[in-house]
Structure 1
Amino acid sequence: MKTPTTNHRIKISLITLIVFAIYKFLQKSSFADIMYGLDEYIDNILVSYGITYVLVGIPIFIGLLLLHKPAQLLESVGLNKSIFEGLGVGLLSTIPLFIGFSFLFKFESETTVGIVIESAVYAAFFEELYYRAFLFGQLFKYGKLGFLPSIIIGALIFAAGHLYQSQDPMELVMIFLVTFAGALLFAWLYAEWNFNLWVPIGLHFFMNLAWLLFDGTGTAGGNLYANIFRLITILIVITLTIVYKRRNGIDLNVNKKTVLSTF
């Protein structure tokens, strides 16, 4: 891939930010209306939910076409990489999560296949595609914006979309910090696994799945223990990534040269 000029980098960044802003507007203002409108004809809320995810993402697909040739679309977001690698990393890293939850909490009998598809499959795939591959990936990989600035922009956009939920400045700060921490992990994994989007998708899916399968993870006491095992999972996936790269003699993509700026 040719090194882009400064003007081209700016163009990539502007297109990415404008397109993502349009997507967020559609997602916040029209998602429910589109979904229920479709369901009047489809009569399957799960299918309608998935189609709506695609429809509100049309601006992003158009943005990708503006930035890349059609033949390069899958590569530009990392969906051409190994799905088995992504799911393998995700499953291996979350084994302690499933084991710990199975000892601490009861199985959630009300979790259905539909709930898993909605809250684990759809959530993991589309959130990683739109946030990691498009917003972060285009800014960092192609726009050559620094790693942290690329993440901060996404976290600010996400937090801004939740301003209506609270007038408490501290709560808004917490929303930003939690969003930033999650984005930091998934973006780092995306970058370090050679922009294989299936890696953050895999981890996102299995972490959500564990949360759905066990009852009690949402209580005060449950949250404490659940977060301990979540932290263990995070430490495992970070260690796994670093060990894999060192054993294969691969340099880290996120380093002192790229953390703030890649210009």
Structure 2
Amino acid sequence: MSKNIRFFSIFIIGFSIYYFFDLFYFKDIQSFSKGVFHSKAIAHVIAYTITLLPLIITLKVLFPKKIILDLFSINKSVMKGFLPTFMATFPMVIGYYIHFAIIKTINVESLFINTISSAFFEEIIFRSFLFGTLYRFTRLGFLSSVLLGSLLFAQIHLYQSQNTMELIEIFAITFLGSILFAWVYMEMDFNLWAAIFLHFFMNLYWEIFNVSENVSGNLYGNIYKFVSIILLIGIVIYHKRKNKIPFQITWKNLFIKTREVQS
């Protein structure tokens, strides 16, 4: 019992320090870095990297003998994360090309921030740390572990609109999207690159085609996204069944795990 109290206390304190550090200093660090390097993209990466320090320290306090790449789940195969998500999101490219125009003027730095940088760092924070740490190293099940991260992930996207109905749609879509990213990360052998690339491709196609001003989208935008999600789920299920790999999620471990996680 005392071991669990220590773990959750350090986890909560560490994330709280990160949360307020990010809330109050992210923009200042970004602004300062932009002034030094004259690049919004580089400043974005630097601000994220510095504000991540409390999470890195938290994990090293909890697991002093483990390497940080393993704790963040980025020591797995990049290609195994890339290929299935690239194939699964291909319907978005085809569908968006048919129904939407390509953006004529693309700001490269903004595109980098909204695709590569955001996908990488958000998956590190919300899937690897908030979900992965709880699911991999405690007895909490999938739903118990994914709730906090998904609520916060949905909350940070509410800046995209002031309309009440759109805000509800944005919250629901990003909340469910967070659960999907967590499922993909977990069922693909805790390979965070799978969630990163899925996040990246979905953001990329949404950015380069004139789909919608925010994540709530529209009919065709959401139809092709939904098709890609179904295809990805099918690819993951097929791969696991073909190779006789047991699924992480079962009815027995939705809330509390009954067996150790192999990660």
> TM-score of the superposition, structure 2-length normalised?
0.88
The CA distance in 2 between the partners of 1:23 and 1:163, in whole Å, is 20
Q: 2:62 aligns with which of 51, 67, 90?
A: 67
Unpaired segments of 5 or more residues in structure 1? 1-5
How far residue 159 of structure 1 moved from its aligned partner, in angstroms, is 5.5
Which residue in 1 is equivalent to 2:113?
A: 118
The CA distance in 1 between the partners of 2:35 and 2:14, in whole Å, is 29
Q: 1:235 to 1:10 in 2, by over 3 A?
A: farther
How far residue 40 of structure 1 moved from its aligned partner, in angstroms, is 1.9
Moved more, 50-59 or 107-116: 107-116
Which residue in 2 is equivalent to 1:47?
A: 42
The CA distance in 2 between the partners of 1:221 and 1:155, in whole Å, is 16
The CA distance in 2 between the partners of 1:161 and 1:214, in whole Å, is 23
**What is the letter of the counterpart of residue 250 of structure 1?**
I
Q: 1:189 to 1:14 in 2, by over 3 A?
A: farther
Which residue in 1 is equivalent to 2:197?
A: 202
Secondary structure in 2 aligned to 1:253?
Answer: coil
The CA distance in 1 between the partners of 2:236 and 2:100, in whole Å, is 29
Which residue in 2 is equivalent to 1:138?
A: 133
How far residue 170 of structure 1 moved from its aligned partner, in angstroms, is 7.8
> TM-score of the superposition, structure 1-length normalised?
0.88
Instruction: Trace 1:142-153 onto structure 2 (pairs within 5 A).
Output: 142-153=137-148
Q: 1:38 to 1:237 in 2, by over 3 A?
A: same
CA contact (8 A) 1:77 1:195 kept: no
Secondary structure in 1 aligned to 2:218?
Answer: helix
**What is the letter of the counterpart of residue 115 of structure 2?**
A
1:189 aligns with 2:184: yes
RMSD over aligned Cα atoms: 2.8
Q: Which has the higher contact order (CA 8 A, sep 6+)?
A: 1
Which residue in 2 is equivalent to 1:250?
A: 245
The CA distance in 1 between the partners of 2:237 and 2:11, in whole Å, is 29
Which residue in 1 is equivalent to 2:261?
A: none
The CA distance in 2 between the partners of 1:146 and 1:43, in whole Å, is 45
How far residue 52 of structure 1 moved from its aligned partner, in angstroms, is 0.4
Secondary structure in 1 aligned to 2:60?
Answer: helix
1:104 aligns with 2:90: no
The CA distance in 1 between the partners of 2:165 and 2:107, in whole Å, is 36
CA contact (8 A) 2:131 2:149 kept: yes
Which residue in 1 is equivalent to 2:224?
A: 229
> CA deviation digits over 1:21-59, x for unaligned, max 9?
222222222211211122222222211111001011111
CA contact (8 A) 2:40 2:109 kept: no
CA contact (8 A) 1:77 1:129 kept: yes
How far residue 76 of structure 1 moved from its aligned partner, in angstroms, is 1.7
Which residue in 1 is equivalent to 2:32?
A: 37
CA contact (8 A) 1:159 1:172 kept: no
Which residue in 1 is equivalent to 2:83?
A: 88
Aligned pairs, how many?
A: 258
Moved more, 135-144 or 212-221: 212-221
